[in-house]
Amino acid sequence: MENDGKKSTALISNISKTFNTNKVVDNLSFSVMPGEIFGLIGPNGAGKTTTIRMMMDIIKPDSGEISILGKNLSEDSKDKIGYLPEERGLYKKLNVLQSLSYLASLKGISPTIAREKTEHLLNRVEMLPHAKKKIEELSRGMGQIIQFLTAIIHDPSLIILDEPFANLDPVNTELLKEIVLELRNEGRAIILSTHRMNEVEELCDRILMINHGRNVLYGELSEIKSRFRNNSIFLELEGDPGELTGVTGKRDYGNYTELLLDGKTAPQQVLEQLISQGKNVNRFEVSTPSLHEIFLQVVEEGQ
């Protein structure tokens, strides 16, 4: 698949997976482009982890195809992908340097480069003084940062992050977000799987929401949000707005008023009417539901 002349980093076509009699992923298709952060969201048990595991070739789909950088998924593809699983785990008895070097070598990085990259990344996250510490001696947050580094040490083209900010303090959360945005700007494709909708709104360019293993929302985040727009306006002004063409109702919230539109009138037309009437407008906001609200609405509809 191509988008604006760019080839997709990951292309997933009609994949399905059934465990015993339970269809966990059902005919799912999507693509992830270079230089974008792609949100993979859905309620618990929706099939997100199974989808990710199929993309990592940890489990095989029953049907459908997965292609990474234009090639069918194979063992070689694994070296192009960085993966931070939701369930974290490292060798507790190894030190930070040994852990990072060993896991980098399994991604095809030579020991010398692995060491250089390890030191560079540890310096980036200000953890170089802890390089010789055993993993079991690190705090949970530090361990999580090391695990994050194992996902990016080999310069992957596709980075899959499953709940990367869970259990991190605000300082480390900001540090990781900063690195994620840097990686996006370097042109890497990033899949962010999370339950935190504010993070998706903050970071993601496009999203895929799955429920019961099926695609229920897919596309540009801004386009999806406008699709779920309530067709109303939040208005704060001095005095009463009076009669306005295209407005079918009003809800008074004290400090501000919500104007309900008839569906044919654009918010811009309402604003023009207010200005022409000489009203002093303090706030004019097109009402858009948060992703959290959209998530709840879509999940409820799917029940």
Partner 1 sequence: MNKTLLIFRHELVHTINRKGFIIMTLIVPALALLAIGVFQLVSTISKPAVIETITIGYVDEAGGFDQHASQGTIELVSFNATEDVTAALTNGEVSEYFVITSDYISTGVIYRYTLEKELETPQPIATAIKNFLTSNLLSGKVHFEMIYRIETPPYLVVTRLTETGEVASDQGGFGNVIIPGIFSLLLAFSLVFSSNYLVQGLGDEKESRLIEVLLSSVSPRQLIIGKVLGLGVAGLVQVAVWLASAPLLLKLASSTFGGFISMIQLPANFLILGIVYFILGYSLFAALSTGTGAISPNAREGQQLAMIYTLLAFVPLWFSSLLFLFPNSPIWVALTIFPITAPVAVMLRLGVSDISAWELVASMAVLVFSIIGVLFLVTRAFRTYILMYGKRPGLREIVRSLRQA
- The residue from 60, 71, 132, 229 that contacts partner 1 (CB under 8 A) is 60
Task: Please give the residues from 1 up to 40 whose contact with partner 1 meets the rule CB under 8 A.
Answer: 20
106 binds partner 1 (CB under 8 A): yes
Check binding of 80 to partner 1 (CB under 8 A). no
Tokens standing for 162? 């499953």
Find the binding residues for partner 1 in span 229-258 (CB under 8 A).
none
Among 5, 22, 70, 87, binds partner 1 (CB under 8 A): 87
Question: Per-residue string for binding with partner 1, 196-235, x by CB under 8 A?
Answer: ----------------------------------------
**155 lines the binding site for partner 1 (CB under 8 A):** no
Instruction: Name the segment binding partner 1 (CB under 8 A); options: 31-39, 49-57, 166-174, 241-249.
Output: 49-57
- Within 8 A by CB and 6+ apart from 233, the residues are 258, 259, 261, 267, 270, 284, 285, 286, 287
Closer by beta carbon to partner 1, 148 or else 295: 148
Strand residue runs (E) in the chain: 2-3, 6-7, 10-19, 22-32, 37-41, 63-68, 71-72, 81-84, 158-162, 189-193, 206-211, 214-220, 232-237, 247-252, 257-261, 281-286
Reference 291, options 191, 231, 219; nearest CA is 219
How far apart CA 71 and CA 257 sit, in angstroms, is: 54
Smallest distance, Å, CB 54 to partner 1? 11
| DSSP label of 255 | S
Binding segment toward partner 1, per CB under 8 A, in 31-39, 76-84, 186-194, 245-253: 76-84
Q: How far apart, in whole angstroms, are the C-alpha atoms of residue 290 and residue 228?
A: 9
Contact residues: partner 1, CB under 8 A: 20, 53, 56-60, 75, 78-79, 81, 83, 85, 87-93, 102-103, 105-108, 147, 150
